[in-house]
């Protein structure tokens, strides 16, 4: 027997009295279970949303970090010694998969983007990122796709590493590293040509250069590649396409040959079209999308991440009073493009561009998806099973046997009232409970 078990047993015997022998032996085997890390937990909520649909009176059995039983309790063999957690009045569901975040950014009404990139060091931003990651996890976000470090190099790669090593608490991360922009097309802007400015992404031009940049970023730890298919060439101008179609195709081919994929920031119809035809897997923002463009996305299997909450937040930072009946042009365009996307039946990715607004308030995107025309059920599917499929994550996003035990619970039924997602009362990631209220 392992020395740690012998030591534990010896201590118990020293404390033992004859009449307490049975109690102490029982305690010994319980201690072995704890030391071994072996655990089984039965979760008993009122309802279970499995990532696709809602079920009444289901229970979920977790062994270590894997779901091993799902369904009615009478149909599941519950091992002896299983810990039972009653989630009375709650709906249990897969952990939220946030599709567009920037853990190294914080709200622009606290510090504008230029000053975050130019004045906050990567060390400071990484420390903020640790706090943001924990707040996200406690809000029920168990996986995040981080869409670029915005001038902080590969700090997102190392934040992911520290979470995986258990140094800090946070969601599972998929990270893009610095992201890639066409030469001259990104900021901060507004400086004369004699000033060398730290950019929020890495510049590249021409087929050879963009391939080289993709390979470098993947080699440095990026899980996927983010490109800017359009942007403002000068401060204050409207966005225009940046990369040529041939450049986008070269980046996609380089990423695919390494078993990775490319996503694109794109807000103009032409920028979106080039990205789609170039082979990217998701389009981020898409404010200028037309029905023709969204239909093309549907045909090509490209998913759409609308980032509604970011547009809403920025409009408020610029003075929009949401209680007024007059909506800014940005919000009008967002609503129009989202309606067209729903009409086309393109896959909708849940992702709010969180970092523009407060980390841990990811629910805002869900609420706006519903407000702009999506059903609560579809919005929750987007945040769980659809994101898992689009992001190539077959081991999560649903409550199903043999998948990861990334589970959360909220009071009430969020399919009837999406605002229930504001208050996540139970969080389990990888079989470990991080929150239980």
Nearest to 126 by CA among 97, 154, 99: 154
Give the pLDDT mean for 121-143: 98
- 55: tokens are 């079920």
Lowest pLDDT segment from 43-52, 250-259, 325-334? 325-334
Give the pLDDT mean for 384-401: 98
Give the pLDDT mean for 229-255: 94
pLDDT, one tens digit per residue, over 290-327 is: 999 999 999 999 999 999 999 999 999 999 999 988 99
Is residue 10 over pLDDT 50? no
Q: By CB neighbour count within 10 A (0-12 exposed, 13-18 middle, 19+ buried), where does 413 fall?
A: middle
**Structure confidence at residue 147 (pLDDT):** 98
27 vs 153, higher pLDDT: 153
Give the pLDDT mean for 401-414: 98
CATH architecture of the domain formed by 96-395: Alpha-Beta Barrel (3.20)
Which of 27-41, 316-330, 422-436 is most confident? 422-436
**Cβ partners under 8 Å of residue 299, min gap 6:** none
DSSP 419: G
**Structure confidence at residue 400 (pLDDT):** 98
**Structure confidence at residue 235 (pLDDT):** 80
Grade residue 24 by pLDDT with cuts at 50, 70 and 90.
Answer: low
70 vs 28, higher pLDDT: 70
Q: Alpha-carbon Rg of the chain, whole angstroms?
A: 24
**Cβ partners under 8 Å of residue 77, min gap 6:** 69
Give the pLDDT mean for 356-374: 98
125 has which bridge partners?
none
Grade residue 190 by pLDDT with cuts at 50, 70 and 90.
Answer: confident
Is residue 4 over pLDDT 50? no
Domain ranges of the chain: 39-94+402-407+413-436, 96-395
Mean pLDDT of the residues in the chain: 92
**Structure confidence at residue 39 (pLDDT):** 81
**Structure confidence at residue 20 (pLDDT):** 53
Separation between Cα atoms, residue 278 and residue 110, nearest integer Å: 37
**Structure confidence at residue 189 (pLDDT):** 84
Q: Are 91 and 46 in contact (CB under 8 A)?
A: yes
Give the pLDDT mean for 183-190: 90
Lowest pLDDT segment from 208-212, 232-236, 243-247, 293-297? 232-236
Is residue 12 over pLDDT 60? no
Q: Are 278 and 260 in contact (CB under 8 A)?
A: no
Give the pLDDT mean for 281-291: 98
CATH class of 39-94+402-407+413-436: mainly beta
Separation between Cα atoms, residue 156 and residue 154, nearest integer Å: 5
Is residue 13 over pLDDT 50? no
């Amino acid at each position: 027997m392992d020395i740690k078990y012998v030591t534990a047993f010896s201590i118990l015997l020293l404390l033992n009295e004859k009449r307490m022998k049975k109690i102490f032996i029982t305690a010994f085997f319980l201690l072995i279970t704890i030391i071994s890390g072996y655990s089984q937990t039965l979760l008993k909520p009122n309802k279970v949303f499995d990532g696709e649909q809602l079920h009444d009176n289901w229970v979920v059995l977790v062994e270590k970090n894997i779901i091993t039983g799902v369904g009615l309790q009478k149909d599941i063999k519950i091992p002896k010694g299983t810990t039972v957690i009653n989630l009375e009045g709650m709906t249990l569901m897969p952990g939220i998969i946030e599709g567009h975040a920037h853990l190294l950014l914080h709200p622009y009404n606290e510090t504008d983007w230029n000053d975050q990139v130019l004045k906050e060091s990567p060390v400071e931003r990484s420390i903020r990122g640790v706090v943001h990651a924990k707040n996200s996890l406690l809000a029920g976000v168990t996986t995040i796709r981080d869409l670029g470090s915005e001038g902080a190099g590969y700090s997102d790669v190392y934040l992911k590493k520290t979470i995986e090593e258990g140094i800090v608490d946070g969601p599972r991360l998929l990270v893009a590293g610095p992201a890639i922009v066409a030469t001259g097309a990104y900021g901060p802007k507004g400086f004369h040509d004699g000033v060398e400015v730290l950019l929020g992404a890495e510049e590249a031009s021409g087929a050879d250069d963009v391939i080289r940049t993709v390979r470098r970023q993947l080699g440095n730890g990026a899980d996927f590649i983010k490109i800017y298919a359009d942007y403002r060439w000068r401060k204050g101008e409207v966005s225009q396409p940046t990369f040529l179609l041939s450049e986008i195709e070269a980046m996609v081919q380089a990423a695919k040959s390494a078993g990775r994929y490319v996503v694109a920031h794109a807000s103009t119809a032409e920028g979106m079209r080039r990205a789609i035809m170039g082979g990217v897997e998701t389009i981020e923002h898409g404010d200028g999308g037309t029905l023709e463009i969204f239909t093309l996305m549907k045909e090509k299997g490209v998913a759409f991440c609308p980032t509604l909450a970011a547009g809403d937040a920025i409009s408020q930072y610029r003075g929009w009073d949401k209680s007024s009946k007059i909506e800014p042009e940005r919000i009008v365009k967002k609503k129009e493009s989202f309606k067209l996307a729903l009409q086309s039946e393109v896959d909708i990715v849940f992702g709010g561009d969180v970092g523009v607004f407060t980390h841990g308030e990811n629910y805002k995107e869900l609420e706006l998806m519903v407000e702009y025309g999506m059903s609560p059920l579809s919005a929750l599917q987007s945040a769980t099973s659809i994101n898992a499929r689009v992001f190539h994550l077959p081991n999560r996003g649903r409550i199903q046997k043999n998948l990861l035990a990334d589970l959360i619970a909220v009071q009430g039924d969020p399919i009837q009232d999406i605002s229930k997602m504001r208050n996540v009362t139970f969080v389990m990631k990888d079989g470990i409970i991080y929150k239980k209220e």
